[in-house]
Amino acid sequence: MVPPGTYTVKLTAAGQTLTAPVTIVPDPRSSVPPDALQAQAAFGLRVRDDISRLTDLVNQLRSVHDQLKARSAALEPRKAEQNIADLIKTSDAAMKKADALEDKLHNPTAEVVYDILAMRGGTRLYSRLAPLQMWAVEDEGLPTLGMKTVLEQQEQELEALSAEVRQFMTQEVAAVNQRAAQLGLAYVIVK
């Protein structure tokens, strides 16, 4: 949903960029004032940004997990060496932590929408933000006090989970990398 106003559209294809002005006019069937439409759009963009932030955290965790898994597999033939066995053990613990953090952000085992509601532990943050985004863009008018309150609570949860992911990256993953460096091995690249 885009509130009424004048915008510039930009299209880039085959090495060329074209721009053109476009004017969005209010729906003549709607009686919603322009400031309410602006507030609705701002709220929807805020939720979208939170979902993007959450998705970025999940992608970071998956990247670290995949790197740890690949490197542990590559070191498997040397697992009889004590230092290598310790590194693999530390990597395994970090992978479990990455999985646990991802599970707090969204339900990675869900295959259909029903799974999100039916599985133990209930919905995760992503599954609670997504409907809020839908309601924000499909409704018409100011976001309700309830929507604003719920978003603030979810943003607090997102901030706490972001801090957990940062701590994981700067502590557990850094410890794995440090142990690998001591053995002269390259290990995990973090964003």
Residue ranges of domains in the chain, CATH in brackets: 35-182 (1.20.1270)
Beta bridge partners of 30: none
Specify the pLDDT at position 113: 57
Residue 142 has pLDDT above 90, yes or no: no
With bands split at pLDDT 50, 70 and 90, how would you rate the model's confidence at 94?
very high
Q: How far apart are the first and last CA of the chain?
A: 32
Do residues 50 and 155 lie in contact, with contact meaning Cβ atoms separated by under 8 Å? yes
| Contact predicate 190/64, CB 8 Å | yes
pTM > 0.85:
no
Strand partners, 18: 11
Condensed to tens digits (0 to 9), the pLDDT of residues 38-93 reads 899 899 999 999 999 999 999 999 999 999 999 999 898 888 989 999 999 999 99
The DSSP result for 104-128, as a single string, is HHS-TT--SHHHHHHSTT---HHHH
- For 4-49, write each residue's pLDDT tens digit: 889 999 999 999 999 999 999 988 888 888 888 889 989 999 999 9
